Structures are given as C-alpha cells and as structure tokens.
Amino acid sequence: MERITKRFAGVTANWAVDFDLRAGEVHALLGENGAGKSTLMNVLYGLYQPDGGRILLSGREQAFSSPRDARAAGIGMVHQHFMLIPSQTVWENMILGHEDLPSILPKKDVRRRILDLSDRYGLAVDPDAKVWQLSVGEQQRVAILQMLFRSARVLILDEPTAVLTPQEARQLFDTIGQMTAEGYGVVFISHKLDEVMAFSQRVTVLRKGRLVATVATEATTKERLAEMMVGEKVVLEIDRPAMAPGRTILECRDLRVLGDRGFPAIRDLSLSVREHEVLGIAGVAGNGQQELCEALVGLRTADRGRVIVDGEDLTNASPRTFIRKKVHYIPADRKGTGLVANMDVKENSILKRYSARPVSKGGFIDWKEVASFARTVVSRFGVNAPSTETPVRNLSGGNLQKLMLGRELSDSPKAVLAMHPTWGLDVAATKFVREQLLAQRERGAAVLLVSEDLDELLSMSDRLAVLCKGELMGVLDAPDRTPVETIGLMMAGTPLAEIEGAEVSA
Ligand SMILES: Nc1ncnc2c1ncn2[C@@H]1O[C@H](COP(=O)(O)OP(=O)(O)O)[C@@H](O)[C@H]1O
Ligand SMILES: [Mg+2]
C-alpha cells in the first residue's frame, strides 16, 4: 500500500500511509484507538476506496471496488465484529452470502473442506453446529475458516484477541504460526504491546492517522513501541499503595438476575466489596457483567437473592434509592446510558442531583448553581469542552468519560461501579481515569471494576472475581501473584477450587 489517504467527513483517518506485507510473516499494525488501523485495512479489503495512494499486489496495481474484489485477489479479513449469520450452521456460513463461490457446492464437499482446513490449522469447529450456539472464540474460528475456504493468501485480523481468553489467544497464535509457515501473510491489528512483541516479525505503528515507523520486532522494545504509539514517554505502571480494607459496603447474596431474553444472566452469585478496596471482575464480555452491575445499582430487578448496601437491604430498590445511598455507576455505554447526548455539559453534570438541594430549590432548578457546579466538574476533571453549553454529543470519548467521572465522583461515593471505564481512551486519559478510581479507594469508597483488559485488572484490583456464564468461578485474593493461566482457565469455565496448584505463595 503506497501513500494511502482516506478521509471521512471532518477526519483524515489515514494520511499518506505506506504499508507492505510479505508472504510468511506476521505484520502487526499497532496504534491507539482511533489511530486509523481498521480504516487502513478496510481500504485493503475493498470496503473503503482510498482518496489517494495505490495498492499493489505482487507488483500489480489493483482497484478494489468491494470486498468481493479483494477476496477474489486472495485477501481475507476478519473484523472485530464477525459478519456471520447466527441462525445458520457453520457449513452454511461458509457458502452463504458469498456470491463469489460457485453457486452449487455439494454439502459433503463443503463439510470435508471445512474439516480438512480445521484439522490443518487447528481451528476446531463442528460444521453442523448453528453459529448462535458457538462461543465467541469458536465464531472467530468460523470467520477465519471462511477466509481460508475462499483461498485467501493474505489474512487480516482486526483486534482478534479482544474477545478471547488467554488460552484461546494462544491457540489462535498457533494457528497463525501454522499459516505463516505455509506462506500466508498475516496482518495482526492490535493495541496490546505484549502480543505484538511475542507474535509478530514486523510492526507498523500508526498515530493519529499517520505512519510513525515500520520496525523489525526483534529490534525494538515494548517501551519504545509505547512511545511511538503515543508520541511521548509513558509510564505504564500505576501506583496502588497497600491499604487495609474496612467494613463491607456493597454486597450481593445468592443473586440471580435475568438477562434481556429472560434467561439467567447471573446465577447464585455472592460477592462483597469493602471500604478501601478495588474488587475487579474478570471475564470474557457477555458473561453477566452488565446484568450484575445493573442489579447492583437498581437498574435491573433481582430475580432471587439480595443486594445489601452498607448493611441495609436494598434488593430491588429504585435507582434513586441507590443514588441517595451514594452508590455510583459508570456504565460502559457512555453516550447511551451514561450521558444524554443531546443535552449540554451542565445539564449532564446534574443528572443525578437535579431533584435535591442545592440544585433544586422549592421545585425549581437553580441554573446559577448548576452552572457553577458544572464549571467545578469541568475544571477538576479536566473536561476539554468549548463551554458548559456544548452538547455532549460533540465531545470525544475521553472527555465524555471525564465528565461522567466528574458527575459520579463529586459526591463522596460510598461505592463506585465502573464498567470498562478506560475502553477506547488514549494513554493519558486512561491513566487519569485509573488514578481517579484509586483516589476513591484511598478515600474509603468500595470500588467494583469490570474490565476486559487483564493488565488493567491486575494492576488495579486488590481482589479479582472471575465470572463465566453468570457464575462465579472464584475470587483471587492476590490476583497479581496468580498465574495468568489460572485466570484464563477460570474465564473459560473452570472453578478455582478445581485448578491444581492455583494457590499462590505469599
Ligand atoms: N466510517 C467512518 N465514518 C467516519 N469516521 C470514521 C469512520 N471510520 C473511522 N472513522 C474515524 O477515523 C479515525 C480512525 O478510525 P479507525 O480506523 O477505526 O481507528 P482504529 O482502528 O485505529 O481504532 C477515527 O477518528 C474514527 O472516528
Ligand atoms: Mg479499529
């Protein structure tokens, strides 16, 4: 790819970027969220047409007007969200919706080919299973098989490990190793430095749409790559002073919560979080984390069991009661659940205090008071907004998150529940958010942190609970001294009690 430029309304996602891929290599594409990685590869896959630059394949210039063209040229891509048809079987997914295959392929040929490929590359799947029945890791294998099935020679994987347990990730890297040994070229998009260091031969770093450098992996270090990603020296470690936990603040006992489809999303779960403590919740996304948080703040009913706040039974109390008891929630979905996109900064800052003094006086809102509170939040939490009258839909992810933190943390919370609080943020904003949560811990709040980022959980958590399919697999008292394999096994469904040698030494 030579000097690829791609613009969207108001954003230049790629600025004259050069990128090349060799047969038999894993080439990592590294950058922070929004750096332009997916865009560059979507251009290669024919999803976007570039505004400038050209694509050459074995020296020949290409013009891809759709993914169909790219696939015909041997380029396959597995997106972060797989484009599979859930109600169909694995083998049907191999051929459905892909006009580029011969229209009639006998089922037994398709099945045999799937089994051959899955055997050869260690991509175990059952061709007759329906896609909706498969775990996320299995669905990813189907998506990869789909590309191999159409004889791709170049495989682009967009953040493939984000949805995998550590074991599944290792398995994926085995598959990739097998493929490169046979001459495939693999582009591996990631923002995880450890993976990039361990599994690529070359790395290209993008920052704000521009190419920073392409380097041989063995000739660089994690620290240098981090610096290239963000453009400055960064401290990757976070300081979490030892602290003695106090009394229990937030607790659930034998909690059962139903998901949106009416099936139990949380089963018989008992957990507690104490003062001066961060309890991390690990698990692959979609294993009940969201339903748990919602039940713990009154947004979802408990089907069974109890929710106790500071000794008081608040099971199925209203969200307003939880707010009054100073239980605060930072949801994953910032613009939907967390903030009202069309309201401005000052209105969003008082969403949880508009009905009480000093904001509300005799049934009316004191807008002067609102403006002054909003200004305090903006300055204390470093929200970068043109004014407090700016609609929050115009703020970037980092500023949305700072505003929400400001709203939730200004009120001396007793408990703070934070779901994926650093997702999509740049390094500086991530650090800020983590420091704010730790400052609450220091103040005496009980902090419950849900994250998919194991490094984040290990650096932040005093104890770590692991969920799988809504059940508690165990609580680790010394997460940072527990082998990561143990955590991976738990994420995949093995209870801690059944894992040999899981106990850590002091
Ligand atoms: N379809 C689109 N329309 C408008 N803007 C987009 C689109 N896709 C990406 N962008 C913008 O382009 C930039 C790069 O995005 P992306 O390539 O997704 O980054 P990355 O994959 O590195 O996180 C971001 O600012 C993003 O908001
Ligand atoms: Mg992306």
* Domain spans of the chain, in order of start: 2-230, 248-498
CATH of domain 2-230: 3.40.50.300
Mean pLDDT, residues 456-469? 94
Question: For the residues of 96-158, what is the DSSP string, one character each?
Answer: TT-TTS-S---HHHHHHHHHHHHHHHT----TTSBGGGS-HHHHHHHHHHHHHHTT-SEEEEE
Ligand 1 atom at shortest distance from the alpha carbon of 36: 17
Q: What percentage of the chain carries pLDDT values higher than 70?
A: 96
- The answer to whether residue 217 scores a pLDDT higher than 70 is yes
How remote is the CA of residue 36 from the centroid of ligand 2, in Å? Answer: 7
How remote is the CA of residue 34 from the centroid of ligand 1, in Å? Answer: 6
Q: Classify 164 as helix, strand or coil.
A: coil
- The answer to whether residue 478 scores a pLDDT higher than 80 is yes
Q: Classify 417 as helix, strand or coil.
A: strand
Q: Classify 233 as helix, strand or coil.
A: coil
Q: Are 29 and 190 in contact (CB under 8 A)?
A: yes
pLDDT of residue 506: 39
pLDDT of residue 101: 61
User: pTM to 2 decimals?
Assistant: 0.67
Residues with C-beta atoms within 5 A of ion ligand 2: 38
* Position 236 confidence tier, pLDDT thresholds 50, 70, 90: low
* Position 504 confidence tier, pLDDT thresholds 50, 70, 90: low
Ligand 1 atom at shortest distance from the alpha carbon of 42: 17
How remote is the CA of residue 208 from the centroid of ligand 1, in Å? Answer: 10
- Closest ligand to C-alpha of residue 42 is 1
- Tell which one of 39, 43, 206, 423 to mutate to probe ligand 1, the residue whose CB is within 8 A of the most ligand atoms: 39
Q: Which residue has the higher pLDDT, 425 or 288?
A: 288
Residues touching ligand 1 (Cβ under 6 Å) are 8, 11, 13, 31, 33-39
Q: What is the pLDDT of residues 183-197, one digit of tens each?
A: 999 999 998 888 899
Q: Are 95 and 101 in contact (CB under 8 A)?
A: yes
> What sign results for the dihedral spanned by CA atoms 489, 490, 494, 500?
positive
Ligand 1 atom at shortest distance from the alpha carbon of 38: 21
Instruction: State how far the Cα of 487 lies from the Cα of 169, in Å rounded to an integer.
Output: 13
Mean pLDDT, residues 11-19? 94
Q: Which CATH architecture does the domain made up of 248-498 adopt?
A: 3-Layer(aba) Sandwich (3.40)
H/E stretch holding 290 reads helix 289-296
How remote is the CA of residue 266 from the centroid of ligand 1, in Å? Answer: 35
> Which residue's CA is the nearest one to ligand 1's atom 3?
8
How remote is the CA of residue 69 from the centroid of ligand 2, in Å? Answer: 22
H/E stretch holding 463 reads strand 463-468
> Which residue's CA is the nearest one to ligand 1's atom 27?
34
The domains spanning 2-230 and 248-498 adopt the same CATH topology: yes
> Which residue's CA is the nearest one to ligand 1's atom 11?
13
How remote is the CA of residue 142 from the centroid of ligand 1, in Å? Answer: 26
pLDDT of residue 325: 96
> Which residue's CA is the nearest one to ligand 1's atom 14?
36
How remote is the CA of residue 171 from the centroid of ligand 2, in Å? Answer: 22
